[in-house]
Amino acid sequence: DGGITQSPKYLFRKEGQNVTLSCEQNLNHDAMYWYRQDPGQGLRLIYYSQIVNDFQKGDIAEGYSVSREKKESFPLTVTSAQKNPTAFYLCASRPDRGGTQYFGPGTRLTVL
Amino acid sequence: GEDVEQSLFLSVREGDSSVINCTYTDSSSTYLYWYKQEPGAGLQLLTYIFSNMDMKQDQRLTVLLNKKDKHLSLRIADTQTGDSAIYFCAELPMDSSYKLIFGSGTRLLVRP
């Protein structure tokens, strides 16, 4: 059963704590992306990775970090430096050929 | 600059056709996409159109592309209550390193 999984679906953390969101894909896609979505708004790109062991900052990378040690996995860490971390986080992947991105189900992070 | 614009809200009666509009600014865009997002879920790819096409039809969905005016539309025939969702338009500029540019989304409400 191929696809993109994100876990957990809901995540609660206290202010000042770092938290890591998981994104795994078994589609053999080369590129992976992290987006943030706030209520009533579109998607903003946080980080993306076109190949293992390489990643680039998106439009709103401050306060976030990523790693890409395996093709299948692209975890996102929301650090305490991110001022407004409460949001819906979406992971996506893209095959080597073509620009179409496929999305996971999302993780809703709430910082208390 | 790069910007994709959509109207915020559309309300239609069940059984009618819905037309969701989008304007984009980058004439180099190679592909244009429509995604659907249901509450609390990720984005689902509905359809896409290559920039050298004027129209694409897929069952109840019809995409029209006017390159001269940089205008994209999605028509949903026989709209059902299950079509109620947020619809995102996205463009893939040629020199974007495969980064999609998303609109803010159009919320479609289907009234019974």
pLDDT in tens, A48-90: 999 999 999 999 999 999 999 999 999 999 999 888 999 999 9
Give the one of A31, A41, A90 whose C-beta lies nearest to B98's C-beta. Answer: A31
pLDDT of the residue at B1: 47
In terms of DSSP bridges, do strands B106-111 and B9-13 run parallel, antiparallel, or are they unpaired?
parallel
In angstroms, the CA A27 to CA A33 distance is 14
> Which of the pair, B28 or A92, is modelled with greater confidence?
A92
Which of A75-79, B12-16, B28-32, B96-100 is least confident?
A: B96-100
CA-based nearest distance B51→chain A, Å: 13
pLDDT of the residue at B2: 59
Q: Residues B1-24: what's their mean pLDDT? A: 92
Cβ–Cβ < 8 Å for A8, A107: yes
Q: Which residue do the tokens 């975890």 mark?
A: A75
In angstroms, the CA A55 to CA A48 distance is 6
CB contact under 8 A, A100 and B33: yes
In angstroms, the CA B70 to CA B5 distance is 11
In angstroms, the CA A105 to CA A94 distance is 15
In angstroms, the CA B54 to CA B65 distance is 5
CA-based nearest distance A10→chain B, Å: 10
pLDDT of the residue at B111: 96
CB contact under 8 A, B99 and A48: yes
Q: pLDDT tens digits for B57-83? A: 999 999 999 999 999 999 999 999 999
Task: Report the candidate in A24, A76, A40 with the shortest Cα–Cα distance to residue B107.
Answer: A40
pLDDT of the residue at A64: 97
Binned at pLDDT 50, 70 and 90, residue A1 comes out as low
